[in-house]
Amino acid sequence: MITLVLSSVVIVAFVCWLWQDLQRPPNFPPGPKWLPFFGNTLLLRHLARVSGGQHLAFEALSKQYNSPIIGLKLGREHVVVALQYPAVHEALTKEAFDGRPDNFFIRLRTMGTRLGITFTDGPFWTEHSSFVVRHLRQAGYGRQPMHMQIHNELKELIGIIEDLNGEPVWPGSILPTSVINVLWTFTTGSRIPRDDQRLTRLLKLLQDRSKAFDMSGGVLSQLPWLRHIAPEWTGYNLINRFNQEIHEFFKATIEKHHQDYTEEKCSDDLIYAFIKEMKERKDDPCSTFTVIQLSMIILDIFIAGSQTTSTTIDIALMILAMNTEIQRKIHAEIDDNFHPDEIPDQNCRTNLQYTEAFLLEVMRLYQIAPIGGPRRALSDCTLGGYRIPRNTTILMGLHTVQMDPDHWGDPENFRPERFIGPDGKIINTERLIPFGLGRRRCLGDSLARSCMFAFLVGILQKFSLRLPDSLEGPSLKLTPGITLSPKPYKVVFEPRLK
């Protein structure tokens, strides 16, 4: 009898929980009904596969429910996606959405912790992000020393291209090291040698990681228990391999800084500055300046600096190789402003308006991070008039904003002129938000823009680009993942006559 009563209680409790789990929160944004346990995970994966990417799946749902904001449940998490500029702008700038989700995937990314600066929030994030920005600037980030370091990396890259002697090459195979070394120098005080096999392996693991997941964390975030059944398929093993490799990579650098530390070196790079802060707070039991936090900050910087900028330059070079007329216009603008042996100067950017417009159009049409976020609602609040419960994950459809026909007119066409006004000055950039907005705007904005400009101008100052005669042309369809990336292709760099 007791067993029957207990069984009945358990069944009733389970049915009540199941009914509650299937209910949408009051005034939650419209969207598909969800399943118990799985939510909309299976539906979203199907739509992403059919449409060609998670960002396109969100856009399809937005059209289906005739709403610029959609509400989903992915695994156990409520997720809201903003898909038009007013909603995206509100999500990016409203302080209630300054939080970051805390789930299995994000903790796995940071080696089981909730540390670093990318995926933390609150006073902890404020303190450490301010510290990182302050000391990177003290070491020269965003100022003349950064531009000098960019020029040094550009010179090496030009030398590598010259040594190819016209052999076809995939730009994506030679760009990442040059880009990451700029930020790496301010972080660690030294460059990573181009022939360092550890870096080669890490960049390959990062590429695999980018393709294996999406901005919502993929199945590993939504159904983390699957890692016990399919650790390889879910990407669990991949992230663990990456964590192990990168931990060993950072460990030697941090240990060397500890050994060589002196007070005089604390302004040389970010690691020395962090060690100084650790020493000053060593008697504070509440101090968050720890060795593991330093490792996670370096991890965040490495991930942020290793892919997005170099991928954008890679796409820009691909477009130029396919469009000789655009290439001719940029060559002419460079020749009008720089001597063939003169190093491109950031101060002359305003004179290269077509080149600037070209880069803006690359970032618009080929937005490599088509989904912004993820953010977390820090309290019960509203978005576009809908109620957003506390701890809801917020994603922003940046691709939708930058492909809005009502604003851009012909968004499918690659047309740099849309950013040039009648007076020849840059216009129409307010809805181009590849680096986000608000307090959580990308810290690498200055580096990314400077690198893209200097590397593109520096390469085109010396070379013309063409596609190899014997190889199939590149595909403009980007591979989906956490970020979008072009399929490997090859171009020929031909020296320009001086």
Backbone angles phi and psi of 134, in degrees to 5:
-60, -45
Residue 23 forms part of a structural domain = no
Residue 442 annotated as binding site: yes
Count of structural domains, the chain: 1
Looking at the DSSP bridge assignments, the partners of residue 353 are none
The answer to whether 221 and 103 are in contact (CB under 8 A) is yes
- Residue 235, both tokens: 């990407």
- The whole-angstrom separation of Cα 10 and Cα 5 is 9
The backbone torsions φ and ψ at residue 157, rounded to the nearest 5 degrees and listed phi first, read -65, -45
Maximum separation of any 2 CA atoms in the chain, in Å: 96
pLDDT tens digit sequence for 32-63: 999 888 889 999 999 998 998 899 999 999 99
Give the tokens for residue 361: 């159009």
The domain containing residue 461 runs over which residues? Answer: 1-6+37-495
- Cα–Cα distance between 110 and 245 in angstroms, integer? 13
Residue 262 forms part of a structural domain? yes
Instruction: Report if residue 13 sits inside a domain.
Output: no
- Please indicate, yes or no, if residue 18 is contained in any of the structural domains: no
The DSSP-derived string for 106-173 is HHHHTTTSS-SSTT--HHHHHHHHHHHHHHHHHTTTTSHHHHHHHHHHHHHHHHHHHHTTT--B-GGG
Residue 347 belongs to a domain? yes
The angle subtended at Cα 359 by Cα 355 and Cα 361, nearest 5°, is 115
Nearest 5°: the CA angle 74, 80, 82 is 135
Q: Find tokens 């120098």 and name the residue.
A: 185
- The residue ranges of the chain whose pLDDT is under 70 are 1, 4-10, 12-21, 212, 215-217, 305-306, 498
**Inside any domain, residue 249:** yes
Tens digit of pLDDT for each residue in 223-274? Answer: 888 888 888 888 888 888 888 888 888 888 899 998 988 888 887 888 999 9
- How far apart (Å, rounded) are the C-alpha atoms in residues 306 and 266? 25
Is position 32 within any domain? no
Instruction: Report the pLDDT value the prediction gives residue 37, as an integer from 0 to 100.
Output: 84
**CATH code of the domain containing 390:** 1.10.630.10
Q: What is the DSSP string of 449-471?
A: HHHHHHHHHHHHHHEEEE--TTS
* Confidence at residue 19, expressed as pLDDT on a 0 to 100 scale: 60
Q: What is the pLDDT of residues 354-378, one digit of tens each?
A: 999 999 999 999 998 899 889 999 9
Residue 287 domain-assigned (yes or no): yes
- Assign residue 30 a region: left if phi > 0, alpha if psi is -120 to 50, beta otherwise? beta
Task: Supply the pLDDT for residue 215.
Answer: 65
Long-range CB pairs of 252-260, under 8 A, 24+ apart, other chains included:
253/188, 253/298, 254/291, 254/294, 254/295, 254/298, 257/188, 257/189
